[in-house]
Amino acid sequence: MNNPERLREITDNVLYGLTADESLKNRIIQKASVKQEKDSRPFFLPVPALCGIVALLVLTMGVLNNLRPVDPASSVEMKVFSAGSVDISPAPDSFFSDILPDLNYENVLSVELTECGVVNDPEECAELIAALQECETSSDVVSEDSGRQLIIHCSNGTVYRFSVNEPYLVGDQCWICDSFFTLFHRFSDD
Amino acid sequence: MSLQPEQMDRPSGSLSFDQMYDLYATDVLRVSYYYLGNREMAEDVTQDVFVKLLTNQPALEEGREKAWLLKVALNRCRDLWRSAWIKKVVLGHPGFECFPAPDEIGQIADQYSLSAAVNRLKPEFKEVVLLFYYQGFSVTEIADMLQIAEGTVSSRLSRAREKLQNELKGDDKQ
């Protein structure tokens, strides 16, 4: 009876009552309509908001100018730009979420991989951050810097920048993030 | 604004949305359920897959519609599986439920053990088992869908069979 060859037949019995019905279909059509409406909405920034963004940019640039700039050719350390620089020296065998627990799904506006693309969709950004938080440190030695960066813009004005050498994020520790990069390429290809 | 009738008629290829939903939505739902072990999340995945079909309008080759739907569903399941939330909520409370026909309730006990064992496999094994044994795809088709080598599919199938056999032997002893 328990032969995998019979999985189709067995599933038809065991999951007989689990079917995609009309109510699910209606939910799908409704959600697709809402998504299309949202996607087709013209880009519009109210003037006050625009002024706020300009002011924020000016302030942020002021902070960034006081920081050591990223030199892609020599950078083998991970840098975080926010209201100040943060030194990150994680313990070996740690998860990415251990070093940046505040980087959460809600406040990410966009995730950019230089020379590859930008992901702006909130749901996709949330998935990317979830994948990123799962990255683990690796004992692999990644000496060659590709010059590429991962840039994460947050709604509070914080911008995180990381040196990238796929499938690694390169810092004082090296994080292996192949699932994150696979996901990013899928989203940016869609 | 709502979807235009022509978009609903032919989201991709030669099948209409209605036809694709009627033909494949239950398979997408059940594969997702096997993967996640949670009905609500499996429905959400099915919803996401078909919303993507309607809004992205992918150009699908005739006869490849189901492969595309299951590929997107498995990608979504994998993403959910990775998220911290599902590890806490679902892995913390595993439980593969049955939804049998009313007149078969007494006969499914021994069938349940295989289904539950498949649900408990690690994702990389579960994917190939579901696509090969449940959905009837060939090793070549699975390799194409999962973007892995055919040899990898074969070895995962072989190891999955072994794991199922061991686990079911354990169930028999209990």
CA-wise closest residue to A95 among A141, A125, A132: A132
* Length in residues, chain A: 190
The predicted pLDDT at position A57 comes to 54
Number of H helices, E strands in chain A: 6, 8
CB of A169 within 8 A of CB of A163? yes
Quick check: B134 and A8 CB within 8 A?
A: yes
Q: Is A36's CB within 8 Å of B55's CB?
A: yes
Q: Read off the tokens for B55.
A: 């809004």
With CB atoms and an 8 Å threshold, state whether B100 touches A10: no
Q: What is the ipTM of this complex?
A: 0.78
Asked whether the beta carbons of residue A10 and residue B115 sit closer than 8 angstroms, the reply is yes
Contact B44, B53 (CB under 8 A): no
Distance in angstroms (rounded) separating the CA atoms of residues B76 and B70: 10
Sign of CA dihedral A10, B62, B25, B86: positive
> What's the rounded Cα separation, in Å, for the pair A180 and A111?
11
Q: Residue B125's pLDDT is what?
A: 92
CB nearest to A183's CB, from B79, B113, B134: B79
Mind telling me how many Å the CA of B110 is from chain A's nearest CA?
7
Q: What is the pLDDT of residue A81?
A: 38
Minimal CA separation from A184 to chain B, in Å: 12
- Determine the residue of chain A that is closest to B8 in CA distance: A29
Nearest by CB to residue B47, choosing from A3, A4, A27, is A27
The 10s digit of each residue's pLDDT in A72-111 is 444 433 444 333 334 444 444 556 666 566 676 677 888 8
Whether residue A18 and residue B79 make contact (CB cut-off 8 A), yes or no, is no
* Whole-number pLDDT of residue B43: 94
Residue of A nearest to B167 (CA): A2
**A83 CB-contact burial (10 Å; exposed 0-12 / middle 13-18 / buried 19+):** exposed
At residue B5, the pLDDT reads 47
The partner residue sitting opposite B43, judged by closest CB among A2, A24, A35, is A24
Residue A29 contacts B, CB cutoff 8 Å = yes
d(CA A43, CA B167): 55
Q: Is B174 within 8 Å of chain A by CB?
A: no
Residues 22-61 of B with CB under 8 A from A: 25-26, 28-30, 33-34, 39, 42-43, 46-47, 50-51, 54-56
The nearest alpha carbon in chain A to B162 belongs to: A4
**How much is the pLDDT for B104?**
61
Determine the distance in angstroms separating the CA of A5 from the nearest CA of chain B, rounded to an integer.
6
Q: Which of B111, B133, B160 faces A13 most closely, judged by CB atoms? A: B111
Q: What is the pLDDT of residues A120-129, one digit of tens each?
A: 888 888 888 8
CA distance A5 to A104: 44
Partner-chain contact A24 B56, CB within 8 Å: no
Interface check for A28 against chain B (CB to CB < 8 A): the answer is yes
Angle between helices A178-189 and B65-82 (to 10 degrees): 140
Q: Does A106 touch chain B (CB under 8 A)?
A: no
Chain-chain contact of B51 with A97 (C-beta, under 8 angstroms): no
Phi, psi of A78 (to 5 degrees): -85, 140
* Cα–Cα distance for residue pair B73/B88, rounded to 1 Å: 21
For chain A, which ranges sit under pLDDT 70? 1-2, 39-102, 104-105, 139-145, 171-173, 190
Per-residue pLDDT of chain B (174 residues; tens, 9 = 90+): 445 545 555 555 678 899 999 999 999 999 999 988 888 889 999 999 999 998 887 878 888 899 999 999 999 888 887 765 556 555 544 566 767 666 665 566 767 888 888 888 888 899 999 999 999 999 999 999 988 899 999 999 999 999 998 888 765 544
